[in-house]
Chain A
Amino acid sequence: MSAVARAPRARTDGGSSWWVYAAVAAFALLVAGIFLSAFLNSIASSWFGGWLPDGYTMRWYRFALAEFNLGYVLWVTVVVGVSVTVLSLILGVPAAYVLARHAFPGRAPLLLLLVLPMLVPPITYGIPLAAMLYAAHLGGSLAGVIVVNIVPALPFAVLIMTPFFEQIDPNLERAARTLGAGPVQVFRRVLLPIALPGVLAAGLLILVRAIALFELTFLVSGARSQTLVVALYYTAFAAGNRPAQAIDAMAVVYMVTGLVVLLAALRFINPVNMVIRVRQ
């Protein structure tokens, strides 16, 4: 396959792509250096001055599990991540479908309104939103954290799913309608099964983002509703009385959580399709 594909390119290209490998290697080396520094420190019994730690231990993971209530924090993170993803999909799938299928007056301003939350920093609406939630006695609660996280997740869901629906042949829906299916039936029995892979992929991406989103959770969460990022920030911020290795251990747990979801997403979708391109 590659021989056939490459022959014409070699001629037109002038050839070398060594710089791609060099650039990626440099970037990967920097990131790996940073990650390994934290990772090795998290399993180091002590590390003074040498290239490698003086010895290894799992003590800091046990410490983090006990001291930082890691199990509970992970549970909160999963609950928030999954709830935000499911709710954004339920709200976003129908909206994305309409935007993909119907040209109507006011479509452009409507789309702008729906994606606007992605274009302004979360802290700008997060502060008044947090004030509102505290007034409604939702501040600090798990429900409050889920509610605020939907704000940036929903536009993201709409943006990445609109192209999926655009790729589905409208004739399938017309055929179903000719055969007497109502709109809800068409959606449930025809569209959804075809769009399901796309919807699942979108869900994984929303989950990756929801796990990583910091500002809004930070503004709204209380002691019992912190997600991993926020708990981690508080721990790192108040670093003075905690061993750095234990913070690193927690950070590694955080990264592995995100990495598993991202790798799952990369397995299902070509990264090219992970982005936003909406017909204008």
Chain B
Amino acid sequence: MQRAAGARVGPGTAPRARRGGLRWGPLVPIAPALLVVLVLFVYPFAYGLALSLHPIGALARGGMLANYAAFFGTPWERASIWNTLRLAVPVSALDLALALPLAYRLRRPLPGQRLITALLVIPMTLGTVLLAEGMIEFFGPAGWANKALLALHLVRMPVQFVHNYTGVFISLAIADFPAVFLVLLGYASGVDPRLEQAARTLGAGWWARLRRVTLPLLAPGIAAAAALSFVATFSVFPSAVLVGEPAGSTRVIALAAWQAAYEQFDYPRASAIAMVMAAIELVFVALVLAARNRAYRGPTIGGRG
């Protein structure tokens, strides 16, 4: 009752004037979205956590943490963390390093800008499977990549690019790049160019400008891009199977979770692996945010809007 009344109070009422308390009226529109997140995300997450603490089958007598003990105690399972990290971290770093200069330069007009942006963004639509199938042919023993290398006498024998670590690495790097680039482009175009000009006027060389002005201003964008890129690459799954070596070096953690759930039908153990995954993910995001707060806090002046 109170809420509806609050929301309908029209023009003359100053915000939060009545009863000196909070006005909940304006918050009503957010409620449905919040409800969806609570029911479809928070609750399943809590359910998964609870499920992971109730081991079944052979692990049932091992106590609440038996699923976790089994995961960390089995070298084969434990290795999936390392298999994932050694893909996710270098791929994210590489994509950031490639996208950052491009996004920074493209914030100012350049002939052919639209085409360039489109070319960098279009791989988004390739999809994992087309990318994987294309790579198997392009990088295969009789594919164009090996043909070119052989024709140029750079190699004597066809190089094996796919069905190993390299294949997943290339596939992830291509699939992940457009999103990293777009996030950085958005932030780079929000940085006021006059700040750099001011630094230049004051006699700063390009290295000093980059280190003391540009990078700190872009820190939030770099952090956002790094976090999103890590989420995407850390949960890699289809490409690890299709162009990787899913029974070996690219048995990633998402695959381990899926196998527990859908091949062994052990939902509690799968949930435990999923929780380990989420924990690693959130630790990484927290580290990125901490690093970003060390880099710079403050306005970048103006921004877009």
| Interface positions of A (Cβ within 8 A of B) | 2, 5, 9, 12, 17, 19-21, 23-24, 27-28, 30-31, 33-38, 41, 48-49, 51, 91-92, 94-95, 97-99, 101-102, 104-105, 110, 113-114, 116-132, 147-148, 150-151, 154-155, 158, 163, 166-167, 174, 177-178, 180, 182-183, 208, 212, 214-215, 219, 229, 232-233, 236-237, 244, 247-248, 251-252, 254-255, 258-259, 261-263, 266, 271-277
For residue B27, which residues in chain A have a CB less than 8 angstroms away from its CB? Answer: 98, 102, 104
For residue A31, which residues in chain B have a CB less than 8 angstroms away from its CB? Answer: 119, 122-123, 126, 174
For residue B111, which residues in chain A have a CB less than 8 angstroms away from its CB? Answer: 2
| Interface positions of B (Cβ within 8 A of A) | 7-8, 10-11, 22, 25-27, 29-30, 32-34, 36-37, 40-45, 47-48, 51, 98, 101-102, 105-112, 116-138, 142-145, 147, 174, 177, 182-183, 185-187, 189-190, 197, 200, 224, 227-228, 231, 234-235, 237-238, 241-242, 254, 257-258, 261-262, 267, 270-271, 274-275, 277-278, 281-282, 285, 303-305
Distance, CA A147 to CA B107, complexed state (A): 38
Number of A-B contacts (CB under 8 A): 287
Tell whether, in the assembled complex, residue B278 and residue A120 are in contact, meaning their CB atoms are under 8 Å apart: yes
For residue B183, which residues in chain A have a CB less than 8 angstroms away from its CB? Answer: 275-276
**11 pairs, CB–CB < 8 Å, chain A vs chain B:** A41-B137, A92-B33, A110-B34, A113-B37, A120-B282, A121-B277, A214-B237, A229-B127, A247-B129, A275-B185, A277-B187
Given contacts A110-B34, A123-B277, contact A232 B129 (CB under 8 A): yes
In the assembled complex, how far is the CB of residue B28 from the closest CB belonging to chain A, in whole angstroms? Answer: 8
Given contacts A91-B32, A114-B37, A119-B231, contact A266 B102 (CB under 8 A): no
Tell whether, in the assembled complex, residue B129 and residue A9 are in contact, meaning their CB atoms are under 8 Å apart: no
With both beta carbons as reference points, the residue of chain B lying nearest to A275 in the complex is identified as B186
Given contacts A9-B108, A266-B121, contact A127 B102 (CB under 8 A): no
With both beta carbons as reference points, the residue of chain A lying nearest to B144 in the complex is identified as A33
Tell whether, in the assembled complex, residue B138 and residue A150 are in contact, meaning their CB atoms are under 8 Å apart: no
Tell whether, in the assembled complex, residue B234 and residue A121 are in contact, meaning their CB atoms are under 8 Å apart: yes
For residue A178, which residues in chain B have a CB less than 8 angstroms away from its CB? Answer: 11
Given contacts A117-B41, A125-B45, contact A33 B145 (CB under 8 A): yes
In the assembled complex, how far is the CB of residue B151 from the closest CB belonging to chain A, in whole angstroms? Answer: 10
Interface centre among A17, A208, A237, A271, by most B CB within 10 Å? A271
Tell whether, in the assembled complex, residue A98 and residue B26 are in contact, meaning their CB atoms are under 8 Å apart: yes
Tell whether, in the assembled complex, residue B30 and residue A95 are in contact, meaning their CB atoms are under 8 Å apart: yes
Tell whether, in the assembled complex, residue B45 and residue A128 are in contact, meaning their CB atoms are under 8 Å apart: yes
Distance, CA A49 to CA B146, complexed state (A): 11
Shortest 8 CB-CB contacts between residues of A and residues of B: A275-B186, A121-B235, A94-B29, A128-B48, A258-B125, A38-B134, A251-B130, A34-B134
For residue B48, which residues in chain A have a CB less than 8 angstroms away from its CB? Answer: 124-125, 127-128
Given contacts A34-B135, A258-B124, contact A122 B235 (CB under 8 A): yes
Distance, CA A126 to CA B235, complexed state (A): 12
Tell whether, in the assembled complex, residue B118 and residue A266 are in contact, meaning their CB atoms are under 8 Å apart: yes
Distance, CA A157 to CA B285, complexed state (A): 21
Distance, CA A48 to CA B128, complexed state (A): 25
Tell whether, in the assembled complex, residue A51 and residue B144 are in contact, meaning their CB atoms are under 8 Å apart: yes
Tell whether, in the assembled complex, residue B131 and residue A271 are in contact, meaning their CB atoms are under 8 Å apart: no
Distance, CA A91 to CA B237, complexed state (A): 30
Tell whether, in the assembled complex, residue A131 and residue B267 are in contact, meaning their CB atoms are under 8 Å apart: yes
Given contacts A31-B126, A131-B267, contact A95 B197 (CB under 8 A): no
In the assembled complex, how far is the CB of residue A212 from the closest CB belonging to chain B, in whole angstroms? Answer: 6
For residue B137, which residues in chain A have a CB less than 8 angstroms away from its CB? Answer: 37-38, 41, 244, 248
In the assembled complex, how far is the CB of residue A223 from the closest CB belonging to chain B, in whole angstroms? Answer: 14
Given contacts A147-B40, A255-B126, A275-B185, contact A215 B237 (CB under 8 A): yes
For residue A182, which residues in chain B have a CB less than 8 angstroms away from its CB? Answer: 8, 10
For residue B258, which residues in chain A have a CB less than 8 angstroms away from its CB? Answer: 123, 127, 219
Distance, CA A131 to CA B136, complexed state (A): 34
In the assembled complex, how far is the CB of residue A174 from the closest CB belonging to chain B, in whole angstroms? Answer: 8
User: Per a CB cutoff under 8 Å, which of A33, A48, A120, A248 touches B231?
Assistant: A120
Given contacts A124-B48, A259-B122, A272-B304, contact A95 B34 (CB under 8 A): yes
Tell whether, in the assembled complex, residue B22 and residue A105 are in contact, meaning their CB atoms are under 8 Å apart: yes
Distance, CA A236 to CA B171, complexed state (A): 15
Tell whether, in the assembled complex, residue B102 and residue A183 are in contact, meaning their CB atoms are under 8 Å apart: no
Tell whether, in the assembled complex, residue A262 and residue B124 are in contact, meaning their CB atoms are under 8 Å apart: yes
In the assembled complex, how far is the CB of residue B141 from the closest CB belonging to chain A, in whole angstroms? Answer: 10
In the assembled complex, how far is the CB of residue B139 from the closest CB belonging to chain A, in whole angstroms? Answer: 8
Distance, CA A276 to CA B119, complexed state (A): 21
Tell whether, in the assembled complex, residue A97 and residue B29 are in contact, meaning their CB atoms are under 8 Å apart: yes
Distance, CA A130 to CA B48, complexed state (A): 10
User: Per a CB cutoff under 8 Å, which of B25, B98, B130 touches A38?
Assistant: B130
Tell whether, in the assembled complex, residue B128 and residue A214 are in contact, meaning their CB atoms are under 8 Å apart: yes
Tell whether, in the assembled complex, residue A254 and residue B130 are in contact, meaning their CB atoms are under 8 Å apart: yes
Distance, CA A36 to CA B120, complexed state (A): 17
Tell whether, in the assembled complex, residue B47 and residue A132 are in contact, meaning their CB atoms are under 8 Å apart: yes
Distance, CA A236 to CA B45, complexed state (A): 31
For residue A38, which residues in chain B have a CB less than 8 angstroms away from its CB? Answer: 130, 133-134, 137-138
Given contacts A35-B126, A258-B127, A271-B121, contact A123 B274 (CB under 8 A): yes
With both beta carbons as reference points, the residue of chain B lying nearest to A266 in the complex is identified as B118
For residue B135, which residues in chain A have a CB less than 8 angstroms away from its CB? Answer: 34, 37
For residue B241, which residues in chain A have a CB less than 8 angstroms away from its CB? Answer: 237
Distance, CA A38 to CA B258, complexed state (A): 28
Tell whether, in the assembled complex, residue A20 and residue B110 are in contact, meaning their CB atoms are under 8 Å apart: yes
